[in-house]
Amino acid sequence: MTTVTKKELIDRICSDTGHRRGVVKDAVQRFLELIITDLAAGKRLEFRDFGVFEIKIRAPRKAQNPKTLAPVQVPAKKTVKFKVGRSMRACLDGQPLPTIDAHCDHEDAEHPSPTTQVKPAANREVAKSHGG
């Protein structure tokens, strides 16, 4: 198993989008900070098809010191639970990752995602009627 670092992820986003490294680095860092602060505030974060992050509280429990075998009381603590979303589950099961839908709420017309395929307006209605 290989590890992907934040730096490598930022470099890949820069390569895929053509955006400057500083802009991408700031956006990724801010995204991670918002996840941390929202979880710390007790919020549940849902990224449709990707997954859900939420705080769970582990109950206090009794454990054992492995060196002395003495019983130890472990206090309750908060932990983060991640539930895998539909697209990630499918990808982990060997299916291809679906492309991003062109009807995203915040699609930037000047900088479309490289995986987004925008259909002309006339074709959208035809595609909808044919299940596409």
Each residue's pLDDT expressed in tens, for the chain with a length of 132 residues: 899 999 999 999 999 999 999 999 999 999 999 999 999 999 999 999 999 999 999 999 999 999 999 999 999 999 999 999 999 999 999 998 877 554 344 444 444 444 433 344 444 444 444 444
The CA angle 24-27-31, to the nearest 5 degrees, is 140
Give the separation between CA 58 and CA 55, rounded to whole angstroms: 10
Hey, what are 54's tokens?
């939420």
Q: Write down the pLDDT at residue 106.
A: 44
Asked if residues 21 and 10 have their Cβ atoms less than 8 Å apart, the reply is yes
Q: Write down the pLDDT at residue 101.
A: 53
What pTM was computed for the model? 0.64
Asked if residues 72 and 63 have their Cβ atoms less than 8 Å apart, the reply is yes
Q: Write down the pLDDT at residue 16.
A: 95
Q: Return the CATH fold of 44-98.
A: HU Protein; Chain A (4.10.520)
